[in-house]
Structure 1
Amino acid sequence: MRQPHVRHGGTRGALGLLAATQLLLIMDTAIVNVALPSVGDDLGAGSAGLSWVANAYLITFGGLLLLGGRTADLLGHRRLFTGGLALLAAASAAGGLAQSTGALIAARAVQGVGAALAAAAAFALLLILFPDGPARHRALGAFAAMGGLGGVLGTVLGGVLTDLLGWRSTFWLNVAVALLLGLLALRLLDGSTRSAEPGFDLLGALTATGGLGLLAYALVGRSLLAGAAGLALLALFALVESRTTSPLVPPAVLARPTLRLANCLSALAQMALFPMFFLVSLYLQTVLGQSPLAGGLGLLPLSLAVVATAPLTGRLIDHLGLGRTMTLGFTLLLAGMVWLALALSAHGTFATTVLAPSLVLGVALPLVMVTTNVAATAEATPEETGLASGLINTSQQFGSVLGLAVLVAVATTRTGSATPQAETAGFRAALLVGAAFAAAAALLSVRLKRPAPSPAPSRQDRVGDPR
């Protein structure tokens, strides 16, 4: 496989482009969530319809990440990256023009498709441009910083744009940014890469995508039937992969202990972190009575801690080692979740309840995300970068969806009434369950053994191949 080189701006420009894509994809979810009440007022949508405006995106995004990553290996990473951004822009335009809830839900589903393709290809491009080592650690730190910043920036921009220009402006922002990133990709990336291996596992692609999509639907829609069908398709996928000559996911890749453990740990991290953002914002609004914009700004200190810590994570890995840094990250995640849960009060303030533990969580987030990504991708050969990207992205996405479903159910079950005391008790119980996920990850991280990195391509192979 040929390795791309970068044109104008060097690897820093390419990293800025890829990190900005990560920022856009994270920001998009938060922006739309803030705009949902205005969408309901304008289109006459009830709570069920509004929930599917968010869920349609999550289902297609989660279901297509694995396929997107492998397709990037076969068709070309830059090609799929720009194609995904173009599809995201087109679907966002359709969402901005939607005149009914059904049309908006359909646009959000296509947005998820474009986001999955762009996200998988972007992460694979990062792995190609930055071989395993300090340079990759710094690049992954930039990704983690953008992820932490995206959630808060999306919440703030969602509130501002919806108040000033209406909810449709949030979709047109996606159009403008996605098109800009696509044009920059053509300028900054001189070529794309693809695997030299022929063949495509169509049956594996269909069963994996269908299984993951149904599983995502089961989690967000709480459907046992869809969950059973999804698991059946994934079992069929495993059977297909063991018998086909060109598997979508070679069994030998899944046989790697470090890869399996790293993907499991990444999912556990998201099961705690992703719902935490949602629960904290909800606590600030429903219990402390803050506005949606103030609730989003309440997560700003956490995001600033992420941005400050992420660039230092690579140095910490060099000093302590990958395993110890990962265990430190999960230990801080556990401590922050427990502290936050116990600090919540029905009569508290932001400064007395959320501020201090959120700073601990802001330090933990990049340590956890960077180390699990490093471990999950260290063994990937140049031909497997898209596959490794698809696997780790899928683990993170399903961890987010599963964690949100579980923790929201815990909070709802524990809350017996709508009083501030009852709601606080529900949030506390949910965060303690999230802390249990972090504790399990901290214990499992001790077993991690860093593998030897895959060999870098020879210098003569590093030639641009414009496509």
Structure 2
Amino acid sequence: MGVPVVRVVLALACAAQFMVVLDVSVVNVALPAVQDDLGFTDAGLPWVAGAYTLAFAGFLLLGGRLADLAGARRTFLAGLLLFCLPSLVGGLAAAPGVLVAARAAQGIGAAVLAPATLTIITTTIPEGPRRTRALAVWTAVGLVGGASGNLVGGLLTETLSWRWILLVNVPVGLAAAVLARRVPAGRRARARRLDVPGAVAATAGLTLLAFGVLQAESRGWADVRTAGALGGAVALLGALARIETRAADPLLPPRLLRSRGVGLGNVLMLLAGGCFQVPMWYFLTLYMQDVLGLSALETGLGFLPHTLVTMLVGLQVTPRLMRRVDDRALVAAGAAVAAAGFLWQGAAAGLLTQGGGSYVRDVLGPAVLVSVGGGLLNTPLTATVTAGVAGADAGAASGLMNTAKQVGGAVGLAALAAATGTYGAAFLAMSVMLGVMAVASLALPARRDAPDVPRRSGQPNEGSRR
């Protein structure tokens, strides 16, 4: 594949991934303005964020498999439409119900779009250093999107209107649709039928799981609705496991999970999501505002070191190391460094409970360690869980990886919020989780990038496994 097409594929995937991840957190700063403008009740306001998260988590496995059945480019364009049209509706909403419904529809579009962005990369760029560089950029953009949500939301709300946190997706989506015309269409899977029972069980089970977690955050784990939703989720996901072993063309092929890289790799992705996804942004945002007394805009700017260090390490250092060092060693080293950063952050937060402290001393130092660790581990872990996957299962593998991230973030946030009484305890718990991840990652299959070499037709350049 020519370099210009690779660049188009990467630009397309990254633009869409940035939008999808950004919209998880971009509304948080704008919620007071939304409430004043549309008249939300205190009980209804959290659903502006929750409806998106609920639908996003619930439809990810289905969205991933659609990329295999319909082709990555077709699925990408469908997801783009499903994401941008509700963004327009939500940005123009005049009533609370319309905005919540639009956010839920956005979440469904995101669940179709997010796996397609990774599938486009893994099905058009062969394994090796070129794909590694593409995955490094894609991963960094996702982390930047999450970390910059508060900053972007604050800037748009203060300078324009809260409505632009949604309306801005429309021109970006149109530009992405134009770029998508230059991406190879790819092949559809031979199977023409969707695993409907598996799709119903997966979507309903993951939606109930996300709903139960959202209820646990506000009502506690012992609440009847929380327990009922989580119990239903366990039952449906158990049914999914049984359905998939019997289906002719399963939504989540069991052969994927039999691969140690995919199976164990996604367990580690779940742990990483429980630290680097929503939990870190959530607790650090509250810590900087409630303890250090920073404004919303200052807090958004406070995440810049996380963004810059993660990009520097993830884009410049990690791809080079992946040619010389096993991926599992990089994942282990990154998890250990990040664990040290969260340990430092937890100790600093534990000493400051009623204001005071210094951003430079109590946030910047830990941020460097956490970001170095995240920059080291995310790309090799993503490469591991997508390596060696057949093209017909690339969408399913992408959907599974995205599901692990989102479920890890949602469950991690609820569990940490319920089990820890202080910011310091939450950061220390993240340190322990990453310590476990560092040890467990040593059981991943050994993998290292092979150099780019000229390829014969039909023979992909694959990363080496030992």
What TM-score do you get using the length of structure 2 for normalisation?
Answer: 0.91
Aligned to 2:432: 436
**Hey, what does 1:192 align to over in structure 2?**
186
Equivalences for residues 106-117 of structure 1 within 5 A: 106-117=101-112
Q: Distance between the aligned counterparts of 1:90 and 1:457, measured in 2?
A: 41
Instruction: Give the deviation of 1:46 after TM superposition.
Output: 3.0
One of 232, 237, 255 as aligned partner of 2:258? 255
Partner of 2:163: 168
Corresponding residue of 2:70: 75
1:314 is paired with a residue of what secondary structure? helix
Contact 1:159 1:293 in 2 (8 A): yes
* 1:289 aligned counterpart, secondary structure: coil
1:134 counterpart = 2:138? no
Q: For 1:329, which of 317, 331, 334 is the aligned residue?
A: 334
Give 1:165 shift.
Answer: 1.6
**What is the match of residue 459 of structure 1?**
457
Q: Which runs of 5+ in 2 are unaligned?
A: 217-225, 461-466
Gaps of 5+ in 1: 415-425, 463-467
Contact 2:21 2:146 in 1 (8 A): yes
Q: 1:366 aligns with which of 358, 372, 375?
A: 375
Letter in 2 for 1:459: S
Matches for 1:231-242 after TM superposition, within 5 Å? 231-242=234-245
Q: CA-to-partner distance for each residue in 1:199-254, whole Å, 9 max, x for gaps?
A: 32111111111111111111112211011111111111111112222211222222
Paired amino acid for 1:144: T
**Structure 1 residue aligned with 2:34:** 39
Distance of 1:155 and 1:273 partners within structure 2:
15
The answer (yes or no) to whether the contact 1:326–1:371 under 8 Å persists in 2 is yes
Residues 50-85 of structure 1: per-residue CA shift (max 9 Å, x gap): 211111111111111111111110011101101111
Which residue of structure 1 aligns with residue 221 of structure 2? none
Query: What's the CA shift for 1:461?
Result: 9.7
Q: Give the whole-Å Cα distance in 2 for the aligned partners of 1:205 and 1:174.
A: 28
CA distance in 2, matches of 1:443, 1:250: 28
The within-5 A match list for 1:256-335 is 256-274=259-277, 275-311=279-315, 312-335=317-340
Q: Distance in 1 between matches of 2:24 and 2:42?
A: 17
Provide the C-alpha distance between the structure 1 equivalents of 2:48 and 2:187, rounded to a whole number of angstroms: 35
Task: Choose from 38, 49, 56 the match for 1:54.
Answer: 49
Deviations 1:102-150 (A, max 9, x none): 2111111000011111111111111112222222211111012212221
Equivalent residue letter for 1:220: L
State the distance in 2 between where 1:243 and 1:152 align.
41
Q: Deviations over 1:421-453 (max 9, x none)?
A: xxxxx1001111111111111110111113699
What's the counterpart of residue 219 of structure 2? none
Asked if the contact 2:337/2:373 (under 8 Å) is kept, the reply is yes
Q: Is the 8 A contact 2:8 2:183 kept in 1?
A: no
CA distance in 1, matches of 2:425, 2:324: 36
Match of 1:177 among 169, 172, 193: 172
Classify the secondary structure of the residue corresponding to 1:459: coil
Residue type of the partner of 2:402?
A: N
Aligned with 1:204 (options 191, 195, 198): 198
1:149 to 144, 148, 169: 144
The code of the aligned residue for 1:108 comes to R
Q: Give the Cα–Cα distance (whole angstroms) in 2 for the partners of residues 211 and 96 of structure 1.
A: 30
Between the aligned partners of 2:174 and 2:45, the Cα distance in structure 1 is 27
The answer to whether the Cα contact below 8 Å between 1:208 and 1:237 also exists between their aligned partners in 2 is yes
SS at the partner of 2:250? coil
Separation in 2, partners of 1:49, 1:115: 22
CA distance in 2, matches of 1:351, 1:260: 40
TM (norm. structure 1) is 0.90
Runs of 4 or more off by more than 6 Å in structure 1?
Answer: none
- The counterpart of 1:243, out of the listed 246, 250, 253, is 246
**CA shift at 1:458, angstroms?**
7.4
Q: Report the 3-state secondary structure (helix = DSSP H, G, I; strand = E; otherwise coil) of the residue aligned with 1:242.
A: helix
How many angstroms does 1:460 deviate by? Answer: 5.6
Identity of aligned residues (%): 38
Alpha carbons 1:152, 1:297 under 8 Å: kept: no
